[in-house]
């Protein structure tokens, strides 16, 4: 398919704050409504939505939707690849150039949208909402037909340079899972478009290429050295292609993910290949699927990193019997391309590395229905600091017990939640104190909001902040950051709620604000 664009109005209630003049950019997954079909969530049709906000009461919201062509036909590859045009593949293939239904990276009039794991970032010009390039820097071939790229880029302190990882993925062997190769770090100059590529040598004690994938990156300077940190998520793929509905919709052996780590890479312009080291002090923590982050690297002397562990096997595809031994056809809440439910509650970490100081704190909490004001950490998704870096906002997707596949749960004995006691856990937006990583509790419960969409961004300046959430079904909600118990604006758009014969599932994970 070719990329297509269409626009729709929202019905807006309340007032769009002046500070929010600009656009919200969201990467959505789209699927058909057939409950009987299972598909890998990474491979959903990607639609990039730009929601333009005109402040006022009533303000105006308009959505422009770009339906992405996964093969990027007619788009350019980077200069390092000869700036050649992508063409229609010669034969049908389960692999794609770009399927950017997950992460959003924004700077200088462009968006780079990414998949959770597969493919290369798609560059889109914000003004025209037209795709311009596919940022693939490595040559795919028959043995390595897919790439993997970092979903959430690292940014230099002045936001001029973006950094992300990219590698090729080798097809699995008979007894070997998918493996990464040609691990690379890409630097993109967002002002000039110049690119630089380094090879990465893994840390000697964390060199397993089967799990060398990196969901998020961050940049910091320490003692005058420029560094990039990569969250090694550790997704372990038994097969590179999505499951074949005729052969392997059945349950299969799942190889468990290892604990996640963080690689630190010191940048050196003179070298072709950079040696990664492990961020020390995290050896004792056994969290899985380290994925999203926000970082306070102001001042150029270290960083405070906030990151979350999902405790979900993010490489897997949901199908087969569930945790309760129910057949898929009896589980009506199934939808095509479902996210993988977590095996247990996750956690949020705060790693403080400033000057000579090093400290790690972790917040981890199950859901207690009798104490809902305490929040939970079931399937953490977003983390976002406010403008003063004093508060951090997190969204948590919750838990839908009937959607956890039995064959995935069986790979994690001793770690999986007790299915006889666990129930539905509602999604949550919660505010934390950025200095302590404790919930920023409030007697009037203004620090949290349940049943909230998980795509979230914080928009603010000079200590005045707004928190904004979005899902196609619920629409856009805007809160004052001090008070998550009162919506200041709500906009809904039926074309996004239900898209012709398909719909947006799962709910988008991330959203970014672009000032107007």
Partner 1 sequence: MRVNRLSVEGPEFVKLVREVEKKVQKLEANKWNFRTVPETFAAPDQAADVVAKELVHIFDGQTVTRIGRLIMGGVGKHFNLMGPIRSDARLNVTSSHIIDEVNHQLGSEGLLDLPQYRSLNRQPQKVEFFNYGIFYTLRDLVFWLLLHDTGCFPSTLEHMTRKFAEGYVVQNDMYTPARPSNDIKAPALMAGSCLMMQFPSKVMEWMDKPLFGGLARETIHVETLLTIKPARISHPHLPLTAESKVEIGHQAYYLRRFAGVSPKDALRGPDVTGESAAD
By CB under 8 A, name the binding residues for partner 1. Answer: 9-11, 13-14, 33, 323-324, 326, 332-333, 368-374, 400-402, 419-426, 441, 443-445, 449-452, 473, 477, 484-487, 490, 492-495, 497-501, 503
Least Å from the CB of residue 59 to partner 1 = 14
Q: Between 12 and 307, whose beta carbon lies closer to partner 1?
A: 12
Q: Between 65 and 185, whose beta carbon lies closer to partner 1?
A: 65
Q: Between 244 and 371, whose beta carbon lies closer to partner 1?
A: 371
Residues in CB range of 233: below 8 A, 6 or more apart: 213, 214, 215, 260, 289, 290, 291, 314
Closest CA to 59 of 67, 71, 49, 51: 51
Reading the block at residue 453, the tokens are 């969409």
Least Å from the CB of residue 493 to partner 1 = 6
Q: Between 357 and 423, whose beta carbon lies closer to partner 1?
A: 423
Q: Between 199 and 426, whose beta carbon lies closer to partner 1?
A: 426
CA 449 centroid distance within chain: 21
Q: Between 285 and 497, whose beta carbon lies closer to partner 1?
A: 497
Q: Between 138 and 425, whose beta carbon lies closer to partner 1?
A: 425
Radius of gyration of the chain (CA): 21
Least Å from the CB of residue 151 to partner 1 = 27
| Rounded to 5°, angle at Cα 276 from 274 and 278 | 165
Backbone angles phi, psi at 61, to 5 degrees: -130, 130
Q: Between 164 and 499, whose beta carbon lies closer to partner 1?
A: 499
Backbone angles phi, psi at 83, to 5 degrees: 45, 35
Least Å from the CB of residue 136 to partner 1 = 35
Query: How crowded is residue 1: how many other Cβ atoms within 10 Å of its Cβ?
Result: 10
State whether the Cα torsion 331-335-340-344 is positive or negative: negative
Do residues 260 and 279 make contact, with C-beta atoms less than 8 angstroms apart?
no
* DSSP per-residue codes, 425-462: B--EEEEEETTT-SB---TT-TTEEES--SEEEEEEET
Least Å from the CB of residue 8 to partner 1 = 8
Least Å from the CB of residue 16 to partner 1 = 15
User: What's the first-to-final CA gap in the chain, in angstroms?
Assistant: 31
CA 66 centroid distance within chain: 19
Least Å from the CB of residue 56 to partner 1 = 16
Least Å from the CB of residue 506 to partner 1 = 13
Q: How far is CA 329 from CA 103, 163, 316, 322, 326, in A?
A: 32, 44, 19, 11, 8
Least Å from the CB of residue 114 to partner 1 = 26
Q: Between 380 and 453, whose beta carbon lies closer to partner 1?
A: 453
Closest CA to 28 of 495, 377, 471, 487: 471
């Amino acid at each position: 398919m070719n990329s297509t664009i269409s626009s729709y109005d929202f019905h807006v209630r309340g007032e769009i704050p002046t500070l929010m003049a600009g656009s919200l950019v969201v990467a959505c997954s789209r699927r058909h409504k057939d409950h009987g079909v299972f598909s890998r969530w990474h491979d959903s049709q990607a639609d990039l939505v730009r929601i333009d906000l005109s402040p006022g009461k009533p303000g105006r919201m308009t959505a422009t939707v770009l339906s992405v062509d996964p093969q990027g036909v007619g788009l350019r590859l980077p200069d390092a690849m000869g700036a050649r045009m992508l063409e229609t593949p010669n034969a049908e293939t389960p692999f794609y150039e770009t399927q950017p239904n997950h992460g959003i990276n924004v700077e200088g009039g462009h968006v780079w949208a990414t998949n959770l794991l597969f493919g290369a970032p798609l560059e889109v010009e914000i003004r025209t909402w037209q795709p311009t390039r596919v940022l693939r820097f490595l040559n795919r071939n028959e043995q390595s037909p897919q790439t993997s790229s970092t979903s959430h880029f690292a940014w230099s302190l002045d936001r001029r340079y973006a950094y992300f990882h990219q590698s090729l993925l080798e097809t699995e062997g008979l007894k070997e899972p998918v493996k990464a190769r040609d691990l690379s770090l890409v630097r993109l100059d967002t002002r000039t478009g110049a690119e630089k590529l380094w090879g990465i040598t893994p840390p000697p004690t964390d060199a397993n290429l089967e799990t060398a994938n990196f969901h998020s990156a961050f940049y910091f300077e320490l003692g005058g050295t420029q560094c990039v940190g990569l969250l090694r998520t550790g997704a372990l793929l038994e097969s590179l292609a999505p499951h074949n509905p005729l052969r392997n919709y059945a349950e299969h052996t799942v190889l468990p993910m290892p604990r996640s780590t963080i690689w630190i890479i010191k940048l050196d312009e003179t070298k072709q290949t950079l040696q990664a080291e492990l961020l020390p002090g995290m050896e004792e923590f056994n969290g899985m699927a380290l994925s999203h982050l926000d970082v306070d690297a102001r001042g150029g002397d270290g960083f405070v990193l906030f990151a979350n562990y999902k405790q979900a096997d993010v490489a897997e595809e949901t199908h087969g019997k569930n945790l309760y031994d129910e057949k898929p056809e009896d589980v009506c809440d199934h939808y095509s391309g479902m996210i993988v439910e977590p095996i247990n509650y996750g956690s949020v970490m705060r790693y403080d590395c400033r000057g000579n100081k090093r400290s790690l704190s972790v917040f981890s909490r199950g859901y207690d229905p009798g104490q809902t004001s305490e929040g939970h950490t079931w399937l953490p998704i977003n983390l976002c600091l406010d403008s003063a870096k004093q508060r951090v906002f997190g969204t948590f997707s919750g838990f839908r017990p009937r959607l956890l596949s039995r064959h995935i749960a069986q790979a994690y004995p001793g770690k999986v939640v007790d299915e006889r006691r666990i129930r539905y856990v509602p999604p949550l937006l919660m505010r934390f104190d950025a200095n302590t990583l404790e919930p920023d509790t409030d007697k009037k419960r203004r620090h949290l909001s349940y049943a909230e969409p998980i795509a979230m961004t914080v928009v603010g300046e000079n200590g005045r902040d707004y928190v904004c959430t979005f899902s196609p079904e619920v629409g856009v909600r805007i809160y004052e950051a001090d008070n998550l118990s009162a919506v200041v604006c709500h906009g809904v758009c039926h074309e996004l709620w239900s898209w012709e014969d398909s719909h947006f599932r799962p709910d988008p994970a991330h959203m970014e604000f672009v000032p107007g």
